[in-house]
Amino acid sequence: MASFRKEPRPGDLIEISRIRSSHWALYVGDGYVIHLAPPGEKSEAGAPTGLGVVKRELLKEVVENSSYAVNNHLDHLYKPRPIKEMLRSGKEMVGKEMEYSDLSRNCEHLVTDLKYGKAHNRQFREEPRPGDLIEISRIGYSHWALYVGDGYAIHLAPPDEYPGAGSSNTSSVLSPRGMVKRELLNDVVGGCRYGVNNHLDLKYAPLPVNKIVSSAEEMVGKEMAYGILSRNCEHFVTDLRYGKDSSRQFREEPKPGDLIEIPRIGYSHWALYVGDGYVIHLAPPDEYPGAGSASILSVVSPSGMVKRELLSDVVGICGYQVNNHLDCEYAPLPVNKIIRSAEEKVGKELAYSILTGNCEHFVTDLRYGKARSQQVETFMTSPQMYLGNAALTAITCSVRKNPSLHQ
């Protein structure tokens, strides 16, 4: 994962999170970046093939409402060119128009070429080969398919998923039964980003391609039980490729006392698992019922409510994972004490401060007796990089209106 830095240095690559993809720029100093802007970039509807233009703009204007991070992701593979050469090459490119293609010449190709002299792109791989696993980025999770050739993929799709698999709603993956479909890869991908990802090749030897494809073809049209934890789309395709069903997206069933991290847009919400499918968490009172909110504005409320709810209701449309991230620093309290302390707080209204008393502080205090928030520690080092301009402005305004947030 990309790290967040206090201030980028000239020559750094900047990864900017867009809807469905990442946009890339080269930082050149004094707050400016050089980047290849695709046709229709401002629409956030993706970058169609066409002419793009190389621009020199203020980083904050390129980022707009998105978050960003310094991500020199190829430093371990290639030696960066001298800074002066990078900047000179970048300056010479400004104002030029060039063909823009997702696969062969996009914004990441430009900046990696400037930095390393190697045009590289992690977002899109070469044309997949039969038997390859395809990872498709949805909002909050990944959907997986098996490429079988001639532009087609076979995948396990929940029956309530939007026709054409263009849905990015994770509520669809909660369906109890799924349908194996053979569809054009482009239709399965919809408007999302995807890549070839045979991520278990180092662990298991793939089965012969003809066996993988024939086994997949035999499954087409069949209905089967669909379980997020036990039999999801990733389990389906890894079983076909390796004869081993595996899924990295979802951890084993959480145990009482475990901390649950739920990614929202711009931050993480945290809860404590207490058993039987339930969690206890500190939810801001203006958060959407069922904790399904993905708005950063919900985390700046001056008070919150401790709730006991089903984990599936708290997760809403997001993914989640068990993340006892401070076990390496502190010994967890006895589980019965953790649960008892949490149950005693249910229904109570507590002061909610994004900096000193948020949902993560709440659960770490229960598990370890230490109120800690790693996302706040990151936020304090570089709030604009962590949240983006719009969210930072919202928090600043909220702090001004609510003096309790300073406490």
What is the per-residue pLDDT for 328? 81
Backbone angles phi, psi at 402, to 5 degrees: -125, 90
Q: Which pLDDT value is given to residue 398?
A: 41
Please list the pLDDT of the chain residue by residue as tens digits (407 residues).
333 445 789 999 998 877 656 889 999 999 999 999 988 654 333 434 468 899 999 999 998 877 788 888 778 767 899 999 999 999 999 999 988 876 667 898 899 999 999 887 655 445 688 999 998 877 557 789 999 998 899 999 876 553 433 333 444 444 468 899 999 988 888 766 677 888 788 778 999 999 999 999 999 999 988 876 667 899 999 999 999 887 766 545 789 999 998 877 667 889 999 998 899 999 876 553 433 333 343 444 478 899 999 988 887 756 677 888 888 889 999 999 999 999 999 999 998 888 888 999 999 999 999 999 887 765 555 444 444 444 444 444 444 444 333 33
CA-CA distance, 398 to 87, in Å (whole number)?
Answer: 39
Strands 13-18 and 68-70: antiparallel
Q: Per-residue DSSP letters for 351-406?
A: E-BTTTBSHHHHHHHHHHS----HHHHHHHH-HHHHH-HHHHHHHHHHHHH-GGGG
* Per-residue model confidence (pLDDT) at position 378: 59
CB-based contacts of 388: which residues, under 8 Å, 6+ apart? Answer: 63, 64, 65, 66, 67, 68, 266
pLDDT at 394: 44
Tell me whether domains 13-116 and 259-406 share a fold: yes
Nearest Cα to Cα of residue 196 among 121, 299, 271, 98: 121
Question: Contact at 8 Å (CB) between 385 and 5?
Answer: yes
Spans of all domains in the chain: 13-116, 133-242, 259-406
DSSP string, 182-220: EEEHHHHHTTS-EEE--TTTTTSPPPPHHHHHHHHHHHT
Query: Would you identify the CATH topology of the domain 133-242?
Result: endopeptidase fold (from Nostoc punctiforme) (3.90.1720)
Residues labelled catalytic: 269, 281, 359
Fold assignment, 13-116: endopeptidase fold (from Nostoc punctiforme) (3.90.1720)
State how far the Cα of 405 lies from the Cα of 407, in Å rounded to an integer: 5
Neighbour tally for 76: CB within 10 Å: 6
Q: Pick 259-406's CATH classification: 1.10.357.10, 3.90.1720.10, 3.65.10.10, 3.40.1190.10.
A: 3.90.1720.10
